[in-house]
Amino acid sequence: MPELPEVETVRRGLAPVMEGQRITRAEVNRPDLRWPFPDRMADRLTGARVDRLRRRSKYILADLDTDETLLIHLGMSGRMLMSGAMLGAFHHDHPAPAKHDHVVLHMGQGVRITFNDARRFGAMDLMATSDAAAHWLMRDLGPEPFANDFNEDYLIARLAGRNTPIKSALLDQRIVAGLGNIYVCEVLHRAGLHPARKAGRIAAKRIAELVPLIRKVLEEAIAAGGSSLRDYRQADGELGYFQHGFAVYGREGEACGTSGCNGCITRIVQSGRSSFFCPHCQR
């Protein structure tokens, strides 16, 4: 599932061709994805101007001049692909309609935004912009990793006394929004923390060090266009490249790249998810 860097990369790719532009026509080609689409979604989107395209956790939010917000969740295999747009010196022609093109937004200036989702685990919803923060998918989310309220004191307080493994704690969207399995594995390797360490037993100093590490890993991933493992593509159809720099994720049995370490990357399963780490570097 795309994590914060992938969703932010898609948002940045879409913003230049969506913000300030009207949806001249919206096509909704099926009644649902993971959940049913809202009533009259095509009619409510047609003619609306996209005032702002933002991200909250793993959701893209398009604020419209109709005082509604379109929520987009990519799910496991969802892609937001644009065509008919000039990207630098290149023009992306409209492709032929594909089987899994479930929602198509025809924008001003001939641009087309297509939501393609083969597995149909993605979602779209419409809500009043004023109530967006209270939407059931977002109301319990913790702070964003780049927000001022996600800081050392906050993280120390939230993890104090918790008996849950540090890996599970950082994946808890109520504590910090947007982190997923890939980037938590990478953060914990840089921090030298074993993913099974109990969060409440880690010294406050080491918990505080996680905050800048989380931001650094996410910044590097966004700069690389995210990580393309299976279905993920950027809005222009290109792959992300951060997967080529993974220190531990997906590298079970390979040598640890930390200077002076002779260990090998190990995989364990925590709450049904694979955790990759170096048992020599991470204690």
Q: What pLDDT is attached to residue 235?
A: 54
Average pLDDT, the chain: 90
Residue 2: closest CA among 181, 269, 250, 267: 181
Catalytic residue numbers? 2-3, 58, 273
The answer to whether the CB of 55 falls within 8 A of the CB of 71 is no
Q: What span, in angstroms and rounded, lies between the C-alpha atoms of 21 and 108?
A: 6
Q: What pLDDT is attached to residue 226?
A: 63
Asked whether the CA dihedral 47, 49, 55, 57 is positive or negative, the reply is: negative
Structure tokens at 279: 């048992």
Residue 36: phi, psi to the nearest 5? Answer: -60, 145
Find where tokens 């994720």 sit: 249
Query: Domain map of the chain by residue range?
Result: 4-134, 152-277
Q: What pLDDT is attached to residue 223?
A: 84
**pLDDT, tens digit (0-9, with 9 covering 90-100), for 193-231:** 999 999 999 999 999 999 999 999 999 888 877 654 444
Right CATH number for 152-277 from 3.40.630.150, 3.40.50.300, 3.20.20.70, 1.10.8.50?
Answer: 1.10.8.50
4-134 has which fold? N-terminal domain of MutM-like DNA repair proteins (3.20.190)
Q: What pLDDT is attached to residue 108?
A: 86
User: What is the pTM assigned to this prediction?
Assistant: 0.89
Q: What span, in angstroms and rounded, lies between the C-alpha atoms of 132 and 35?
A: 18
Q: What span, in angstroms and rounded, lies between the C-alpha atoms of 79 and 122?
A: 9
